[in-house]
C-alpha cells in the first residue's frame, strides 16, 4: 500500500512540474487610469471658517504633544565652540603630551558640544596622520600617541 502511494506521489510531482504559473498582467491603459475628481463635490460645503477651525485643531494637537527629549531640559541654549580654537587647543595638548588617554581628553570638555567638537578634532588629526590611536582590548582605554614635534 505504501509503495503504491509513493508511486502516486511521484507521478503527481512530475505532473506538477509541467504546470506553469503566470503572474497576472494588467494592461498599461488600466494602470494609467485615474478616476476623475469632482472638485465641486469635494469642496462643496467647505468654507474658510471651517478650514481655519481645522487648522486651529491641528495646532492644538501639536501643542498638546510633549517632546520627551527637549521638554525636560527647558530651553536649549546655543553654545559657541569654535572648531578652529578647539583644534589649536588639541594640537597644543598633543604637543605637550606625547601619549594621553582619549577618555581623559573628552572628560576635560565642559559641555556636550565641546565633547563632540573635540571628537571631531581627534578624527581630523587622525586623518591628517598627526596622531596614532591604539586600544589593547574592546573595553580598555584608548591611547593616543602624538606624532607632532614639541
Residue whose C-alpha cell reads 578634532 in the numeric block: 121
pLDDT score, position 69: 59
**pLDDT recorded at residue 112:** 83
In a domain, 103, yes or no: yes
Alpha-carbon span 12 to 4, nearest angstrom: 12
Q: Per-residue pLDDT averaged across 54-68, rounded? A: 69
Residue 141 domain boundaries: 83-146
Total domains present in the chain: 1
**Residue 6 lies inside a defined structural domain of this protein:** no
* Mean pLDDT, range 64-85, rounded to an integer: 66
81 band by pLDDT with thresholds 50, 70 and 90:
confident
Which H or E run contains 143? strand 142-146
pLDDT at 129 over 80: yes
Higher local confidence (pLDDT), 76 or 121? 121
101 part of a folded domain: yes
What pLDDT does 33 receive?
A: 85
Question: pLDDT band at residue 24, thresholds of 50, 70 and 90?
Answer: confident
Looking at residue 25, its pLDDT comes to 84
> What b/e string do you get for 69-78 counting C-beta neighbours within 10 Å, with b at 16 or more?
eeeeeeeeee
Query: Would you say residue 119 lies in a domain?
Result: yes
Mean pLDDT of 116-126: 89
Q: At 115, which CATH number? A: 1.10.10.580
Q: What angle do CA 102, 106, 107 make, to 5 degrees?
A: 115
pLDDT in tens, 28-52: 888 888 888 777 777 777 777 777 7
50: helix, strand or coil? helix
Residue 74, pLDDT above cutoff 60: no
- The verdict on residue 48 lying in a domain is no
Phi, psi for 100 (deg, rounded to 5): -155, 165
Residue 120 has pLDDT above 80, yes or no: yes
Amino acid at each position: 500500500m505504501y509503495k503504491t502511494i509513493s508511486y502516486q506521489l511521484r507521478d503527481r510531482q512530475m505532473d506538477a512540474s509541467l504546470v506553469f504559473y503566470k503572474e497576472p498582467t494588467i494592461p498599461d491603459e488600466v494602470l494609467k487610469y485615474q478616476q476623475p475628481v469632482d472638485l465641486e463635490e469635494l469642496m462643496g460645503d467647505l468654507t474658510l471658517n471651517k478650514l481655519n477651525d481645522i487648522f486651529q485643531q491641528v495646532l492644538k494637537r501639536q501643542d498638546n504633544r510633549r517632546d520627551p527629549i527637549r521638554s525636560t531640559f527647558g530651553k536649549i541654549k546655543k553654545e559657541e565652540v569654535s572648531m578652529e580654537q578647539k583644534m589649536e587647543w588639541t594640537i597644543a595638548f598633543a604637543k605637550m603630551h606625547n601619549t594621553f588617554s582619549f577618555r581623559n581628553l573628552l572628560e576635560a570638555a565642559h559641555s556636550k558640544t565641546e565633547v563632540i567638537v573635540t571628537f571631531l578634532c581627534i578624527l581630523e588629526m587622525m586623518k591628517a596622520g598627526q596622531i596614532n590611536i591604539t586600544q589593547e582590548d574592546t573595553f580598555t582605554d584608548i591611547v593616543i600617541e602624538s606624532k607632532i614635534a614639541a
